[in-house]
Amino acid sequence: MTRTYVVTGSASGIGRATAERIARDGHRVIDVDLHDATITVDLATADGREALVSEVRDALAGDPLDAVVANAGTMASPELCVRVNHFGAIATLEGLRPLMAGSHAPRAVATASCSVIGPHDPALVEACLAGDEEAAVAASEGVDLLGYPSSKRALARWLRAAAIGPEWAGAGIALNAVAPGIVETPMVQQHVGDPAMRELFDAAVPMPFGGHCRPEHVAELIAFLAAPGTERLTGQVVFVDGGSDAVQRGDDVF
């Protein structure tokens, strides 16, 4: 049976690999990004988020939406991390959720990060979870490199709480996240391309099994989580990080 998927951040990296992976299975992909996509919107803005929902609804033409992959993300600045990685992802999931009502096996997957277990700014995380975007943006001032992991940690915590609620589990919609390690994408390459930064990244995210990921490694897990046959799995943040989580947190965390 052909299914319809929305994939954000589809122009490159994990999003592109995911869209291609799903399309190879014969499914329809509505691709979304800032450019080079069927739907071009800016998920850092309220207007962009509203346009996303409207344009997806138009593209569906009355058919149900089967899965949402909220993958769009950035490392550009703490403010954009807050707006895109946290609030943009949630707006994508919440905004498109009603369109999945007619699917026989609705699924939603967000892209978090293995950095959710690392250093973060607690005040910024709590500001994100409070749901006040402008207050969270204000809290992001001066956090520098902690903006990205903090936004992803907040997203993962939101997802864990939301997934078991009436709007998601109660409506039969599975909601999970992937937590990649270092992935060789254009977003990351500008950082790990510098030998000193690469050494810093590798120290922070040790990946003993195979080293850095390629986008298709993560896409394979996303496709699994979004598949109709993957049942009774929800509220999970699944690490695809070459063992980094196990290295950093040890054997007493499951």
**Residue 148 counted as domain residue:** yes
Give the per-residue pLDDT at 176.
Answer: 98
Cα within 13 Å of Cα(117), Cβ side: 19
**Residue 104 counted as domain residue:** yes
Assigned token pair, 81 = 């991390």
Give the per-residue pLDDT at 101.
Answer: 95
Give the per-residue pLDDT at 185.
Answer: 80
Please list the active-site residues. 148
Give per-residue pLDDT as tens, 164-217. Answer: 999 999 999 999 999 999 898 877 766 666 777 778 778 888 899 998 889 999
**Residue 110 counted as domain residue:** yes
**Residue 249 counted as domain residue:** no
Residues with Cβ within 8 Å of 134's Cβ and at least 6 positions away in sequence, in order, are none
Q: Are 22 and 66 in contact (CB under 8 A)?
A: no
Q: Are 29 and 7 in contact (CB under 8 A)?
A: yes
Q: What is the DSSP string of the chain?
A: ---EEEEESTTSHHHHHHHHHHHHTT-EEEEEESSSSSEE--TTSHHHHHHHHHHHHHHHTTPPP-EEEE-----S-HHHIIIIIIIIHHHHHHHHGGGGTT-SS-EEEEE--GGGGS---HHHHHHHHTT-HHHHHHHTTT-GGGHHHHHHHHHHHHHHHHHTSTTTGGGT-EEEEEEE-SB-SHHHHHHHTSHHHHHHHHHHS--TTTSSB-HHHHHHHHHHHHSTT--S--S-EEEESTTHHHHHHTTS--
Give CA–CA dist 50/53, Å, rounded: 5
**Residue 107 counted as domain residue:** yes
**Residue 253 counted as domain residue:** no
Give per-residue pLDDT as tens, 37-52. Answer: 999 999 999 999 999 9
Structurally, the chain folds into a number of domains equal to 1
Residues with Cβ within 8 Å of 214's Cβ and at least 6 positions away in sequence, in order, are 17, 183, 184
Give the per-residue pLDDT at 100.
Answer: 98
Give the per-residue pLDDT at 198.
Answer: 75
Question: 179-192 burial, b for 16+ CB within 10 Å, e for fewer?
Answer: bbbbbebebbeeeb
pLDDT tens, residue order, the chain (254 aa): 899 999 999 999 999 999 999 999 999 999 999 999 999 999 999 999 999 999 999 999 999 999 999 999 999 999 999 999 999 999 999 999 999 999 999 999 999 999 999 999 999 999 999 999 999 999 999 999 999 999 999 999 999 999 999 999 999 999 999 999 989 887 776 666 677 777 877 888 889 999 888 999 999 999 999 999 999 999 999 999 999 999 999 999 88
**Residue 140 counted as domain residue:** yes
**Domain limits at 236?**
4-243
CATH number of the CATH domain containing 193: 3.40.50.720
Assigned token pair, 149 = 């992991």
Q: Are 148 and 125 in contact (CB under 8 A)?
A: no
67-70 and 39-40 beta bridge pairing: unpaired
Give the per-residue pLDDT at 196.
Answer: 76
pTM, 2 dp: 0.94
Cross-sheet strand order for the sheet of 4-8: 39-40, 28-33, 4-8, 67-70, 107-111, 174-180, 237-240
**Residue 134 counted as domain residue:** yes
Give CA–CA dist 115/153, Å, rounded: 8
List C-alpha distances in Å: 253 to 117, 236, 245, 250: 12, 14, 9, 7
Backbone angles phi, psi at 33, to 5 degrees: -165, 180
